[in-house]
């Protein structure tokens, strides 16, 4: 007969994670978990808790075990089909919200390329409900997670299945955007990071370009101008050591006012620029 408190204290994971797993199993709030610490947990729930702890001990990310991760203050559903949203990406959100406004009321056309869980697109649509936000991904499984997040969070986002711009490439006309954002797979194929921690459980196609990490930036800066309105902006998240290469790619492709923003850890994390008048 094991109490909630005993199970939490003897779980072989971080105390905070043990409490989160217990909340997940019992459905209790943080506060009732404490006040009910001496309750005996029904055997089925105790077993479920032990099984979740065992998965965590094997290294599986918390976000996949409980199926959720908070991003920019909102809960996002995540599955192993999508990259787990990271605080680094909130830097991109902050920047777009604060500096790409063109007057708060203007209904901007925004595209998120490689949306994954929809963290970027859904957050922008929630924060700026009058913007028209579109999002694409090569993975149908990811798109269904993203669509669920949009629905749950009451965001209007138009989703499209596409390998970058390819779904539009065959058409004579296609939309143009005021802002295009992307957090593309940017880890180099041989980076040891891919074999470490949570990353081992995440979709490889969301993490690496199977090349030097810069492949997608170099091709997207070439194609994106066709999909930007005159004066439109392209903003990327990138690795902490990729800022200069990404800025050079943007400048080579004719972007002006090319700029980099640091994340909360002080790393150069987000770069972008404006396309010249066309």
Residues that bind ligand GLN (CB under 6 A): 83, 86, 88, 183-187, 193, 199, 207
Cα(77)–Cα(240) distance, rounded to whole angstroms?
26
CB closer to ligand GLN, 103 vs 266: 266
Give the per-residue SS3 of 89-154: HHHHHHHHHHHCCCCCCCCCEEEEECCCCCHHHHHHHHHCCCCEEEEEECCHHHHHHHHHHHHHCC
Q: Is 260 flagged in the annotation as binding?
A: no
CB of 264 to ligand GLN, least distance (A): 14
CB of 213 to ligand GLN, least distance (A): 8
Residue 36 burial (10 A CB sphere; 0-12, 13-18, 19+)? middle
195 token code pair: 């074999």
38 token code pair: 């001496």
Q: Is 184 flagged in the annotation as binding?
A: yes
CB closer to ligand GLN, 178 vs 209: 209
Q: Is 163 flagged in the annotation as binding?
A: no
Buried b (16+ CB within 10 A) or exposed e, 244-255: ebbbbbbeebeb
Q: Is 116 flagged in the annotation as binding?
A: yes
CB of 69 to ligand GLN, least distance (A): 13
Q: Is 173 flagged in the annotation as binding?
A: no
CB of 3 to ligand GLN, least distance (A): 38
Q: Is 164 flagged in the annotation as binding?
A: yes
Q: Are strands 132-137 and 109-113 parallel, antiparallel or unpaired?
A: parallel
Residue nearest to ligand GLN (CB): 186
Q: Residue 219: which of 169, 278, 145, 277 has the closest Cα?
A: 169
Cα(228)–Cα(210) distance, rounded to whole angstroms?
27
CB closer to ligand GLN, 109 vs 183: 183
Q: Is 27 flagged in the annotation as binding?
A: no
Residue pointed to by tokens 């924060």? 127
Q: Is 114 flagged in the annotation as binding?
A: yes
Cα(266)–Cα(204) distance, rounded to whole angstroms?
26
CB of 11 to ligand GLN, least distance (A): 26
CB of 24 to ligand GLN, least distance (A): 24
CB closer to ligand GLN, 25 vs 181: 181
CB closer to ligand GLN, 88 vs 178: 88
CB closer to ligand GLN, 217 vs 227: 217
Annotated binding site for S-adenosyl-L-methionine: 114-118, 137, 164, 183
Annotated binding site for substrate: 183-186
Annotated binding site: 114-118, 137, 164, 183-186
């Amino acid at each position: 007969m094991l109490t909630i408190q005993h199970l939490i204290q003897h779980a072989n994971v971080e105390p905070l994670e043990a409490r989160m797993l217990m909340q997940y199993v019992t459905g209790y709030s943080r506060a009732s978990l404490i006040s009910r610490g001496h309750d005996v947990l029904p055997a089925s729930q105790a077993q479920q808790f032990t099984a979740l702890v065992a998965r965590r001990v094997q290294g599986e990310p918390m976000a996949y075990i409980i199926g959720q991760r908070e991003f920019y203050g909102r809960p996002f559903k995540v599955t192993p089909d999508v990259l787990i949203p990271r605080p680094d990406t909130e830097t991109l959100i902050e920047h777009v919200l604060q500096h790409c406004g063109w007057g708060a009321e203007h209904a901007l056309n925004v595209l998120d390329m490689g949306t994954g869980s929809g963290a970027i697109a859904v957050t922008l649509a929630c924060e700026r409900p009058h913007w028209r936000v579109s999002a694409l991904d090569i993975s149908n499984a990811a798109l269904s997670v993203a669509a669920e997040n949009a629905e749950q969070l009451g965001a209007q986002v138009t989703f499209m299945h596409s390998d970058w711009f390819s779904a539009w490439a065959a058409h004579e006309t296609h939309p143009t955007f005021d802002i295009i954002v992307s957090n593309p797979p940017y880890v180099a194929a041989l980076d040891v990071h891919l074999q470490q921690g949570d990353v081992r459980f995440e979709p490889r196609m969301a993490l690496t370009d199977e090349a030097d990490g810069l492949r997608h930036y170099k091709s997207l800066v070439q194609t994106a101008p066709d999909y930007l309105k005159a004066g439109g902006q392209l903003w990327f998240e990138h690795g902490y050591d990729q800022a200069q290469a990404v800025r050079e790619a943007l400048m080579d492709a004719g972007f002006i006012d090319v700029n980099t923003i640091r994340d909360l850890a002080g790393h150069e994390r987000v770069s972008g620029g404006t396309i010249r008048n066309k």
